[in-house]
Structure 1
Amino acid sequence: MKTIKPIEFKASRAWEALDIANMGGTTCRLHWTDKPYHWHINDGEEVFAVMTGMVDMHIRRDGKEEVIRLEQGDIFFAGIGDEHFAEPIGEARILVIEKEGSV
């Protein structure tokens, strides 16, 4: 058993993660970041939950870019093939659940 207090987790570099669990090939990781990720296309489904801070999620749908502001407690789901990137507003801690090794 584990208890994790996201507010206490700080990494030495952006998007570094604390591994929480691997459940039959599905990972649950807590990420700390203060820098944007890069555009990527999911090769698996991903659940992205903002634990602390705010994140602008940039997405592309039908060739058009949109930005969705995620606040603490908000959850974003990206399916296979969804193009997106996350841009924190200051520091953020994000719980990510996805298949092991997913991009």
Structure 2
Amino acid sequence: MRFLDAAEYTADRPWDAVGLAELDTATVRLHWTDQPYVWHVNDDPEVFVVLDGAVDMHYREDGVERVERLTPGRVCLVEPGDAHVARPKPQARVLVVERKGSV
């Protein structure tokens, strides 16, 4: 068994992560960040769960930019093809489940 206090995890650089598990073709990682990611589109689904802090998830729907605030316990499923960028407020720890090899 392995135990980790997500609220205490930090990294050397934004969006760095500690790998927690590989499940078949998916990875489970705990990310820490105090900087936004970049706008991007994934080929596969990805699941975000904010464990500590807050993240404003910016996404485009029908050409319009929208924002949803993710707070601890809030889950976001990003479908393949969804343009999005995560922006921490002011920092966050996020559990991300995604295909192996995703960056």
Matches for 1:75-94 after TM superposition, within 5 Å: 75-94=75-94
Unaligned runs of 5+ in 1: none
Q: What's 1:47 paired with?
A: 47
**Cα offset for 1:30?**
0.2
SS in 2 for 1:14: coil
Unaligned runs of 5+ in 2: none
Alignment TM-score, normalising by the size of structure 2: 0.96
Which AA in structure 2 matches 1:101? Answer: G
Contact 1:33–1:93 (8 Å) recurs in 2: yes
Alignment TM-score, normalising by the size of structure 1: 0.96
Identity, in percent, stands at 49
SS in 2 for 1:52: strand
User: Could you tell me how far apart the structure 2 residues matched to 1:81 and 1:93 are?
Assistant: 24
Q: What's 1:21 paired with?
A: 21
**Cα offset for 1:90?**
1.0
**Cα offset for 1:6?**
0.2
User: Could you tell me how far apart the structure 1 residues matched to 2:13 and 2:59 are?
Assistant: 24
Q: What's 1:101 paired with?
A: 101
How many residues align? The count is: 103
- 1:31-56 CA-partner distances (Å, limit 9, x unpaired): 00000000000110000000000110
